Amino acid sequence: MRYDVTLPWWAWVLMGLGLAAFAAMVVVSVRRNRGVKRSLFAAPYTLWMIIFTIVPLIIIVYYALTDASGNFTLNNLRDFWDSNYSRRAGASSPAIQARLAARGMSNMEPLLYSLWMAFLCTVICLVLAYPTALFMADRRMKRASSLVILFVVPMWMNVTLRTYAMRILMVDDGPLINFLRLIGFADAQLMDTPTAVLIGMVYNFLPFMIFPIYTVLSKLDPALLEASSDLGASPGRSLIKVTMPLSIPGVVSGITMVFMPAVTTFTLNVMLGGSKRLMLGNLIEQTFTKQNNWNMGSAMSLVMMVLILISLTILRKADPNNEGGGL
């Protein structure tokens, strides 16, 4: 499919000036320091961020705030929150406007569904990851490094291959369905259901919750637990009063690293859910590829980025020093 993507002249000028300013900064830095300073080796990374992060973000904002003719408009954002706004505005009769109003806000359903699935995925990953990370960080565990490798190895494979493996397990004649039927669930079915999508999300994103928590727990001073024990606290009370509060930075980092990709995923929903219920990622992908509507697709992407930034800001208040690592 061929896309007609054009940028205004000022966008090209802005990108050219940015690259020229970057080159000038490099030259000035070399001359001022009479050679190449160590920090200058980060210049390629900075250039990469400008070209592949900042410039695409500018393009998304431009398309989200313009129409097909390049004129400034907020209708794209209005159409996101109310998918029939533009149609109602151009309707010729009150009867047509009433029918369009009765359709509701069809774009909001994928957004709320995506947020709900991402929330469930994050909660399940946290419930599974914390005991696992606690077990792996136990200094009395001699097999902790082996467990780390077991969680790392699947991440070496492409997410599509891992998802295909999940499909093999959950198809109607697959081993997981046969096991469920064997224990009494005769009508068990997973494929093309939200449950299959949720299982796939948890499987793919669980390591991103485990490792930040494991990193924080493995750095805790054992003397803290010894002092807690000397003061009469039981192991359970030490866990609640000492270990868990100190591990909050890792938990916050894990929540961030799971929730962000979970709310934007669309491949898992296609492969495991059959796209019977659209997630926002699927809606954005279809808006770009099938409808060829870059303005509306960019508006959806911009709303998604704003929501993620808001949630990220709230979560980061619990870990202001970024002690949990991760993002």
Same-domain check for residues 229 and 82? no
List all residues 6 or more positions away from 232 whose beta carbon is below 8 Å from its beta carbon.
none
Axis-axis angle for helices 144-152, 108-137 (nearest 10): 150
Of these ranges, 39-43, 94-98, 148-152, the one predicted with the greatest mean pLDDT is 148-152
Same-domain check for residues 183 and 272? yes
Mean local confidence (pLDDT), 142-157: 77
Same-domain check for residues 234 and 157? yes
Residue 324 forms part of a structural domain: no
Same-domain check for residues 37 and 128? no
pLDDT of residue 98 exceeding 50, the answer is no
Mean pLDDT of the chain: 80
Q: At 327, is the pLDDT very low, low, confident or very high (cuts 50, 70, 90)?
A: very low
Measured CA to CA, the distance from residue 176 to residue 246 in angstroms comes to 38
* pLDDT top residue among 209 and 170: 209
Same-domain check for residues 15 and 90? yes
Q: pLDDT digits over 43-67, tens only?
A: 777 777 777 788 888 888 988 998 8
Same-domain check for residues 59 and 39? yes
pLDDT at 58: 84
Last residue of a domain, one of 84, 102, 120: 102
* pLDDT top residue among 148 and 127: 127
Structure token pair of residue 313: 């800001």
Same-domain check for residues 205 and 260? yes
Measured CA to CA, the distance from residue 72 to residue 70 in angstroms comes to 7
Q: Is this prediction's pTM over 0.85?
A: no
Same-domain check for residues 66 and 120? no
Same-domain check for residues 45 and 178? no
Measured CA to CA, the distance from residue 194 to residue 196 in angstroms comes to 5
Residue 214 forms part of a structural domain: yes
Residue span of the structural domain in which 169 resides: 108-316
Same-domain check for residues 250 and 271? yes
* CA count, 13 A, side-chain hemisphere, 281: 16
φ, ψ of residue 7 in degrees (nearest 5): -115, 150
Q: pLDDT digits over 108-133, tens only?
A: 788 889 999 999 999 999 999 999 99
Q: What sign results for the dihedral spanned by CA atoms 206, 207, 212, 218?
A: positive
Of these ranges, 85-94, 110-119, 122-131, 223-232, the one predicted with the greatest mean pLDDT is 122-131
pLDDT of residue 1 exceeding 70, the answer is no
72 DSSP β-pair partners: 66
Residue 273 forms part of a structural domain: yes
pLDDT of residue 162 exceeding 80, the answer is yes
Residue 74 forms part of a structural domain: yes
Same-domain check for residues 135 and 60? no
Mean local confidence (pLDDT), 84-93: 52
The position carrying tokens 């300013």 is 21
String of DSSP letters for 242-258: IIHHHTHHHHHHHHHHH
Q: pLDDT digits over 268-308, tens only?
A: 888 888 877 888 888 888 888 888 888 888 998 998 888 88
Q: How many domains does the chain have?
A: 2
Residue 261 forms part of a structural domain: yes
CA angle (327 as vertex; 157, 323 as ends), nearest 5: 120
Nearest to 304 by CA among 110, 62, 82: 110
Mean local confidence (pLDDT), 159-169: 85
Last residue of a domain, one of 64, 85, 102: 102
Residue 3 forms part of a structural domain: no
pLDDT at 326: 47
Same-domain check for residues 13 and 127? no
Residue 325 forms part of a structural domain: no
Q: At 101, is the pLDDT very low, low, confident or very high (cuts 50, 70, 90)?
A: very low
Residue 1 forms part of a structural domain: no
Q: What is the CATH number of the domain that holds 270?
A: 1.10.3720.10
Last residue of a domain, one of 79, 102, 125: 102
66 DSSP β-pair partners: 72
Q: pLDDT digits over 24-43, tens only?
A: 877 777 777 766 666 666 67
Measured CA to CA, the distance from residue 125 to residue 3 in angstroms comes to 39
